[in-house]
């Protein structure tokens, strides 16, 4: 059993990516019931998980959503996350009806350009005191 198996929904993201951090901020703002927890892909536990899954441990191609013991990546992970948010955001889950290769092609395009568009930090994101309980 992995240490994160007890967490219902955990998003593992690139902690130095400004685009990813903006996505985390957006998610926190639209998750009033705190259904989602967060961790960085740079953490020791995430690095071990990436190795187990045979995913890159440095140049990240995707973030991960661990949900009820299942691991989701790329567009499927993003759509499953918006499904949990408040307001009209769950309607975007209808994007799941598009074939995964098309969805993932768009995801990959954004992922390839995220540093170019929004830059990256020298260090991983540090949660605010009010956010700290939502990070692992």
Residue 114's CB: how many other CB atoms inside 10 A?
Answer: 19
The pLDDT value given to residue 78: 96
Contact, 10 vs 4, CB < 8 A?
Answer: yes
The pLDDT value given to residue 96: 97
**What are the pLDDT digits (tens) for 79-125?**
999 999 999 999 999 999 999 999 999 999 999 999 899 988 887 77
- In the chain the first and final C-alpha atoms are separated, in Å, by 17
- What integer is the mean pLDDT of 11-22? 91
- Whole-angstrom distance, CA of residue 106 vs CA of residue 119: 19
- Domain boundaries along the sequence of the chain: 9-127
Is the pTM higher than 0.85?
Answer: yes
Percent of the chain at pLDDT exceeding 70: 96
- Whole-angstrom distance, CA of residue 11 vs CA of residue 92: 18
Tokens of 79: 């759509």
């Amino acid at each position: 059993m992995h240490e994160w198996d007890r967490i219902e929904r955990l998003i593992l993201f690139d902690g130095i990516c400004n685009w990813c951090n903006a996505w985390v901020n957006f998610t926190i703002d639209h998750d009033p019931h705190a259904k989602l927890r967060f961790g960085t892909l740079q953490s020791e536990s995430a690095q071990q998980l990436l190795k187990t899954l045979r995913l890159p441990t440095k140049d990240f191609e995707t973030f991960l959503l661990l949900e009820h013991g299942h691991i989701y990546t790329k567009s499927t992970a993003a759509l499953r996350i918006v499904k949990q948010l408040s307001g009209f955001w769950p309607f975007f889950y209808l994007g799941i009806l598009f074939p995964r290769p098309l969805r993932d092609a768009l995801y990959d395009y954004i992922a390839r350009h995220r540093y170019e568009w929004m830059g990256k930090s020298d260090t991983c994101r540090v949660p605010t005191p009010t956010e700290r309980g939502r990070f692992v």
